[in-house]
């Protein structure tokens, strides 16, 4: 039974990691929570995968800083909010014909903007 749980956690962590990577490019997928979920799954199932994730040059420091309560870099916040609004406005203006869906998308974008902005900003050490 233990091996089934371990396999499930590895699959769930890998799926979460994949969705988190997609979330970098698709603003409605929350990257940070998905990467944190992947880390949580990996730490309970595979030391090798967890170590790979937290030492990864793209995600590792980001995950460790967020997990330790240090925050999200200002640059990541600015890029995240900018990409969110560019893609949402494009979708609202050019793709979606229904007004109610346009309003819903703008409300979703507003919520995620608020969520990103309220997160603690990582203070960079200036030497």
Per residue in 12-63, pLDDT (tens digit) is: 999 999 998 998 787 667 787 788 889 999 999 999 999 999 999 988 888 8
User: Angle at CA 61, nearest 5°, toward 59 and 62?
Assistant: 60
Do 27 and 61 sit in the same domain of this protein?
yes
Judge whether 96 and 102 are in contact, CB under 8 Å: yes
Do 39 and 78 sit in the same domain of this protein?
no
pLDDT computed for residue 11 by the predictor: 96
pLDDT computed for residue 1 by the predictor: 65
- Domain residue limits at 34: 2-67
Distance CA 111, CA 115 (A): 6
Q: What share of the chain is helix, strand, coil (3-state, %, to 5)?
A: 75, 0, 25
Confirm whether pTM is higher than 0.75: no
Do 36 and 52 sit in the same domain of this protein?
yes
Q: How many domains does the chain have?
A: 2
Do 44 and 80 sit in the same domain of this protein?
no
pLDDT computed for residue 23 by the predictor: 82
pLDDT (average), residues 92-106: 95
pLDDT computed for residue 30 by the predictor: 75
Q: Is the pLDDT of residue 89 over 70?
A: yes
């Amino acid at each position: 039974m233990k091996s089934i749980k371990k396999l499930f956690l590895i699959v769930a962590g890998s799926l979460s990691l994949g969705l988190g990577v997609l979330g970098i490019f698709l603003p409605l997928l929350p990257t940070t929570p998905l990467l944190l979920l992947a880390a949580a799954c990996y730490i309970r199932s595979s030391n090798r995968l967890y170590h790979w994730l937290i030492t990864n040059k793209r995600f590792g420091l980001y995950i460790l800083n967020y997990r330790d309560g240090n925050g999200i870099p200002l640059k990541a916040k600015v890029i995240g909010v900018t990409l969110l609004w560019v893609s949402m406005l494009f979708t609202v203006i050019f793709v979606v014909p229904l007004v109610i869906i346009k309003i819903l998308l703008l409300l979703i974008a507003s919520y995620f903007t608020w969520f990103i902005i309220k997160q603690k900003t990582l203070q960079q050490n200036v030497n």
